Structure 1
Amino acid sequence: MPAAVAAPAPPLLRLFDATAGLRARPAIGYAVATIGFLVALGLRIAIGDALVGYPYVTFFPVVVIATFLGGVGPGIFAAVLGGLTAWWLFIPPFRSFALLWPETVIALAFYVLVVGVEILLIHVMDVSLRRLAAEEARARALLDAQRTLFHELQHRVSNNMAFVAALLTLQRRHVGGHPAALAALDAARARLDVMGRIHRRLYDPEVAQGGLDRILSDLCGDVVAAAGATRVVCTVRTAPVEIAHHRLVTLSLVVTELLTNALKHAYAPDAPGAVDLSLEVEPDGRVRLVIADDGRELPEGFEQETRQGLGMRIVGELARQLDATIAWERRPRGTAVVVRFPAG
């Protein structure tokens, strides 16, 4: 289950998120509001008559900064300080709280409207951000729980496969001298062992990060070791291709059966050799898997004869699940099996 990569948040949201801790400590906001008010007052006095008719202009930024860093309380505090001071010092009649119509009323109404909208917008952003953070925390917790359950399920499936394989081993002791039955039990147990390893490997996050090349390389190593072909070297080459996870399990089983078949028929016991496994995307978008060995050539009629065997019947059923075609090619030295299937 690969982890999803979240899109980066806009700069404003990142800044808002970074200052969330300050808004949780109102004392800082009130200090910022007080200092900002004094700075704005000094700047307004220094500018003097150049801003006649704009009594509140230097106080608006203070309200925004105080609300942004401290929350609603410090924002309202800064707005009240700035509004009353501007009314007293910069709205005629000066040094008076006289309410004249329409000059004073309109100026005060405009100020209240602007700072009210500023505080409201920042408050809504703060609430929305906190809700988003809570939702993300719940989503992460749910994802962690699902991942834990998923891995537990995969662990149980692998253990069940190992248990069935062990039962087949025990059952083998009661078969007696029936070579065909013993061979069938041994083949079934070997397939279960390989399937268990495939299952654990495909659902291992560390292995999955290594990509398809690592998955198939480890799989080839398992099959070669299970076949006892210690002198056969398996080389894997894969092109970048996206294969759905459930199809990757089926593909791994196809590789297992075909590689086992190649090791069984192409080489004598303890003989050296080289098997090359390649996977690439063809121009029409289909995936082409080739398993080529340098062992003995196929006898005439090999493909038709082996279709009746259990291994080839398994391969045929798996190929139908992949919507794949399988063909054997005789080469100057050895044999190649070519599997073509859709990538999706």
Structure 2
Amino acid sequence: MTNIYFNRWFSTVYHYINMIRDNPDGRSFTFYGTHPDPGHLSLQACDHAEPEPELYGAEYVDYALDFCRRNRIDVFIPRLHMLEIAKEVGRFDEIGTKVMVCRDIELLERLMEKDRFYESLAGTGVVPLPAYEVAETAEQFAAAYEKLRSGGHRVCFKPTNAEGGMGFRIIDNERSEQDKLKALYGWVSATIPFEEAYRTLAAAERFPRLMVMELLPDEEVSIDCLADADGRLIAAIPRRKSSGRIYLLENRPELLEIASRVAERCRISFAYNIQVKYNEGIPKLLEINPRMSGGLYITCLSGVNMPYLAVKAILGEAIERPEPQFGVKASYIELPVLMK
């Protein structure tokens, strides 16, 4: 029996646990989970769960290490405090716990700070980058906005270390007062006028770094990737967001080539995700997440059980290169789950 531990994850890890549990080899696993919310959906798929304390830095690493020791964890798949855990991965090695994390600390630090990662890829030809500037004062923000706008770009911004869509805003100066009134009765919008953003940012002498970027208005694609422990690419599956909740799994040569070049340069191990967005037919990098993506359960409809294969990879087992089924059109709906 192999013990697997997921710390504070998204609710979609519920699917990944069940994908590993329902593996085609009929292997048995025991799943452990922690989360500050004892009713969190991710814990409902676990065999053993406990509330996770609000700890940071070295204290959190000590907690996770103790949890792994107490429960004889064989494979630890972290999301929360991934960088801090990676820096202390040797301590987990000593107790026999394999941690599914990028061990290249310098690379991991760059991946966590988008501006640093963009700098490392500039001029390499690995993947096209959007035009961008970094700002941490209102004056820098204004200068970045004007530079990008003068280059013919619509402009957006996002914190350099944000996850997902957190903090993402599109600068839109065209909204009339009537439009603003209508917006109060509709969905919350990600748009904001420049003057409003500038006034808010000017309230602080300095603020956490923002990426002020070219807006990429066209289709968004996530490329879910699987690699072995040495970062050699095993599979890459592009998942394009279509209308509403519809996704398409597509065999796009330009995206598979991006995945191959990223793997060759970065050597990220196990499961990770490359996000790109198109502008005038060119796929440009948004970010790379060195972990399983939130939408991986849809990608696995290709017939490739990436969570289970990632576990096999970290256990050092041979993996036959899978043949994903492309041309899959999929969506998702809410389903009731009986709570433990």
More strand by share: 2
Q: Indicate the structure (1 or 2) with the bigger Cα radius of gyration.
A: 1
TM-score relative to the length of structure 1: 0.22
TM-score relative to the length of structure 2: 0.22
Which structure ranks higher in relative contact order (CA pairs < 8 Å, sequence separation ≥ 6)?
2
